[in-house]
Amino acid sequence: MDHLTFIYPELDIEPIAQNLIRTMRLDEDCQSPLAHKNLWDQTDIAVITYGNSILSDNQPPLKTLHHFLQAHFPMLINTVHILPFFPYSSDDGFAVSAYKQVDPPLGDWSDILRISADFHLMADLVINHCSAQHEWFTNYQKGKSPGRDFFVEVDPKEDLSKVVRPRVTPLLRATSTPRGTQHVWCTFGHDQIDLNFANPKVLAKIVDIIRLYLDMGVRIFRLDAVAFIWKILGTNCLNLEETHEIVRLLRTLIEHADPNAVIITETNIPNRENLSYFGNANEAHCIYNFSLPPLLVNSLVTGNCRYLKNWLMSMPPAQNGTTYFNFIASHDGIGLRPVEGLLDDSEQEALIQTMENFGGQISWRALDDGSNKPYEINISLFDALKGTTAGEDDWQLERFVCAHAIMLALEGIPAFYLHSLVGTTNDYERMKEHGHNRAINRRQWQEQELNERLADPESHHHKVFHKLRRLIKLRREQPAFHPNATQFTLHLGDHVFAFWRQSLDRRQSIFCLNNISDQPQTVSLNAINLIGTDTWKDLVSDATFDDMLASITLDPYQTLWISNRW
């Protein structure tokens, strides 16, 4: 009632509240979540993938994916984010045309249930918009329900210059209806029509979808593009208070249905705005750490971690019951909005130029003055790290592994894009075929071909795969790598990115040292204050350290995890 009163102050909210409670079946089984409870530990590792990233003959792709993960990552990966697996019309799944179905070419709900029985299943709640081919929008065009009042209509004469958008297409789409031509709001493009959450019937439909997903084994809900869901003319229509209240409402409903369920907000926006979705530990359980990918790639191609280090020092420790969702590659690209205010323009320009030199493409967004600005870099992470600002070199594999070692050690839950785990490179043919830049990093592998490459010791796919598997195994065994364990930034110059982690029980300390340059770097053990009464060992190389006054030399892109417990 409190949530709804804030969102809909002019409406009679009691029947709305009772309907939501019935839809979530909280009138039958309402559980009590514990505040500030960590629903994760150091063993939680996620993989992000499309349902059809791996294919085999005569088998639904979801079955192939399930088999591949079981075969190659037993006891290593326990969480699977399957990107939208519903029928869709565009945007590789994010223009959903039927929320309650599994896309038939992928499989069916029985495949989803089998995966959710073996892994924590993360699914997208594409909350801001639906496909122009969804029944709701076709009904809108006919003046029928449900759908007739589900979309945001705007007079094109209104001043919309303040609206923040991630695309360059026109915001409004002219649409024929029985009431004449109407103009509907489309944040992401004319095939993705924004839903009107000012109508509580829309909210009720979304809650009904959430209930189904819970029944189908979904434990983790990724709220896609949630920052855009509420519109008020004259504002930027981003991160509005009603948006945050809807997230709090969904959190309340979901966690009282399943106290082990988790909400993750996908808000590809500047860092400070992104952090606001933690609320007071009452909104998202996890937020995407969107600033990490561009800052980390920038550090590794420049050999200088100054910006990355400054950012890490500014990040607040997540309260218990919340944590960061760390990733460095995804199905989209390397976002540039999250480094606004963190990287200056010249650094961004140098990063963009370097990525273009390595085969990357640039996607753009529209500004309120009518100009365009780079929005994201589209490139596979393996190719993004094939060299430095000076050009390509022989350190690609080491640089790539170093990036993931850093991600694995940082505060938060690490998430690997499937294509990073197997060292997939830029897919220019798929990009050309699909006609959009993001397809460059959305390859579809034949399972047999991929297995052959992973089994070939000379293949870079094999080398990447086995090095990352080993690091994952090491991470899972360290209490100091709990997502909420203490973290402090260390200052060892601009070429060694270093930080300290300490387990929640304070028994284990790990000093994480990463040479992010293409030159050897020497560090004095005295500089990191190893306690002389403890015995210290590098978990990665098995080297031990007895002389606390000695110096150590890190090879280019070498990582040390120096621990007092193993």
Q: What is the DSSP string of 340-395?
A: BTTB-HHHHHHHHHHHHHTT-EEEEEE-TTS-EEEEEEE--HHHHTSEETTEE-S-
Contact between 51 and 65 under an 8 Å Cβ cutoff? The reply is yes
Mean pLDDT of the region 472-478 = 98
pLDDT band for position 367 (cuts 50, 70, 90): confident
The helix or strand, by DSSP H or E, that contains position 283, with its residue range, turns out to be none
Is pLDDT at 494 greater than 90 in this prediction? yes
Q: Is 72 annotated as a binding residue?
A: no
Gap between the Cα atoms of 352 and 375, Å rounded: 11
First to last CA, the chain: 50
Is pLDDT at 339 greater than 90 in this prediction? yes
pLDDT band for position 370 (cuts 50, 70, 90): confident
Q: Which residues are catalytic?
A: 224
Residue 546: per-residue pLDDT: 87
Max CA distance (Å), the chain: 82
Cα four-point dihedral sign 161, 167, 168, 173: negative
Q: State the DSSP string of 402-447.
A: HHHHHHHHSSSEEEEEHHHHTT----HHHHHHHTSGGGGG---EEH
Q: Is 453 annotated as a binding residue?
A: no
Residue 41: per-residue pLDDT: 98
Cα three-residue angle 161-164-165, rounded to 5 degrees: 110
Q: Is 12 annotated as a binding residue?
A: no
Q: Is 518 annotated as a binding residue?
A: no
Gap between the Cα atoms of 373 and 336, Å rounded: 10
Strands 120-126 and 79-82: parallel
Mean pLDDT of the region 508-527 = 96
Residue 491: per-residue pLDDT: 96
Gap between the Cα atoms of 385 and 388, Å rounded: 7
Q: State the DSSP string of 553-564.
A: EEPTT-EEEEES
Q: Is 91 annotated as a binding residue?
A: yes
Give per-residue pLDDT as tens, 86-120. 999 999 999 999 999 999 999 999 999 999 999 99
Residue type, 265: T
Residue 439: per-residue pLDDT: 95
Q: Is 331 annotated as a binding residue?
A: yes
pLDDT band for position 365 (cuts 50, 70, 90): confident
Nearest to 130 by CA among 230, 182, 206: 206
Taking 3-state DSSP, the helix, strand and coil percentages for the chain, each rounded to the nearest 5, stand at 35, 20, 45
Is pLDDT at 532 greater than 90 in this prediction? no
Q: Is 505 annotated as a binding residue?
A: no
pLDDT band for position 66 (cuts 50, 70, 90): very high
Mean pLDDT of the region 430-439 = 94
Structure tokens at 244: 């945050």
Global pTM reads 0.96
Is pLDDT at 369 greater than 80 in this prediction? no
pLDDT band for position 192 (cuts 50, 70, 90): very high
Residue 538: per-residue pLDDT: 97
The helix or strand, by DSSP H or E, that contains position 222, with its residue range, turns out to be strand 218-224
Gap between the Cα atoms of 109 and 115, Å rounded: 10
Q: Is 438 annotated as a binding residue?
A: yes
Is pLDDT at 373 greater than 80 in this prediction? yes
CA-to-CA dists, residue 182 to 143, 149, 160, 173, 252, angstroms: 12, 12, 16, 8, 35
Give me the percent of the chain exceeding a pLDDT of 70. Answer: 100
